[in-house]
Amino acid sequence: DTAVSQTPKYLVTQMGNDKSIKCEQNLGHDTMYWYKQDSKKFLKIMFSYNNKELIINETVPNRFSPKSPDKAHLNLHINSLELGDSAVYFCASSQVGGSYNSPLHFGNGTRLTVT
């Protein structure tokens, strides 16, 4: 009964390809996020969705497109992959409405390697 699950765990692909990472949460949270962790372990917010609506869209190349079919799912699609996209991508969720002190609950991460 994993709370936040993302697939795949590892993704190795060549430059120029298009790939997707899926994320699902069963916590009933209303907000989901995508974070990128680079080789120096720095965590950078990419996107945030609240009840399927985009509320945070940091400076991310438009090759990255999030899609939220419902509030339990937030997928990340990446077009024309580049070497610099190699990183660990984390999906996370939290409850914004109601319980203000809800922390982030993270998925186990997807290690993307672009060759």
Partner 1 sequence: AQTVTQSQPEMSVQEAETVTLSCTYDTSESNYYLFWYKQPPSRQMILVIRQEAYKQQNATENRFSVNFQKAAKSFSLKISDSQLGDTAMYFCALRNTGNQFYFGTGTSLTVIP
Residue in 15, 5, 2, 7 with CA at minimum distance from that of residue 85: 15
**Calpha distance 100→90 (Å, rounded):** 22
Going by the DSSP 8-state scheme, the letter that residue 15 receives in this structure is T
In the complex, what is the shortest distance from the CB of residue 92 to partner 1, in angstroms, rounded to a whole number?
Answer: 8
In the complex, what is the shortest distance from the CB of residue 45 to partner 1, in angstroms, rounded to a whole number?
Answer: 7
Position 98 contacts partner 1 (CB under 8 A): no
Position 109 contacts partner 1 (CB under 8 A): yes
Cross-strand bridge partners of residue 88? 37, 111
Position 64 contacts partner 1 (CB under 8 A): no
Choose between 33 and 75: whose C-beta lies nearer to partner 1. Answer: 33
42: three-class secondary structure by DSSP: coil
**Calpha distance 13→32 (Å, rounded):** 26
Residues 24-43 that bind partner 1 (CB under 8 A): 31, 33, 40-43
Q: Could you list the residues that contact partner 1 (CB under 8 A)?
A: 31, 33, 40-43, 45, 48, 50, 56, 88, 90, 92, 94, 96, 100-101, 103-106, 108-109, 111
